């Protein structure tokens, strides 16, 4: 991949708390190159708020974005635990197992789990 794709961080989530997240697929228009990134923040009341922030940032870098779904992340930095669960009403449920694999790259020392529980 080019330097721009490398410059995009795999994960940008709040350091603490429970918040909404989305799984986003980046693709070069007309290209085969693609990757999935995780974005989540307490600042977002709805999942589409996250996408509306990510999408223009990525378009500037020359990527097409597609939201693959969403859910919630519970990030406990003190105990080094992350729990992925829930779903997005608008985007549907992300594949949490994919999200967990991406999170593990960035938080290798964490215990990271997922479930389809709503809470």
pTM of the full predicted structure?
A: 0.94
What is 11-115's CATH superfamily? Janus/Ocnus (3.50.20.20)
Per the DSSP assignment, residues forming a β-bridge with 76 are 81
52 Cβ partners below 8 Å, 6+ apart?
Answer: none
Write the CA distances from 74 to 41, 43, 55, 104, 113, integer angstroms: 11, 14, 24, 14, 10
Binding residues for substrate: 20
What is the pLDDT, as a whole number, of residue 2? 58
d(CA 17, CA 22): 16
CB-CB neighbours of 33 under 10 Å: 11
Residues marked as catalytic = 47
| Mean predicted lDDT score pLDDT of the chain | 94
Binding residues: 20
Q: Is the pLDDT of residue 62 over 80?
A: yes
d(CA 82, CA 49): 22
């Amino acid at each position: 991949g080019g330097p721009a794709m490398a410059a995009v961080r795999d994960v940008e989530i709040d350091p603490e708390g429970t918040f909404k997240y989305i799984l986003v697929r980046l693709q070069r228009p007309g290209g085969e190159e693609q990757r999935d990134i995780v974005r989540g923040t307490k600042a977002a009341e709805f999942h589409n708020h996250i996408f509306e922030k990510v999408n223009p940032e990525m378009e500037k870098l020359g990527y097409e974005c597609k939201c693959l779904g969403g859910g919630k992340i519970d990030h406990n930095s003190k105990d080094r635990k992350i729990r992925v669960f829930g779903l997005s009403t608008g985007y549907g449920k992300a594949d949490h197992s994919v999200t967990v694999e991406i999170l593990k790259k960035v938080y290798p020392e964490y215990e990271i789990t997922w479930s389809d529980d709503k809470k």
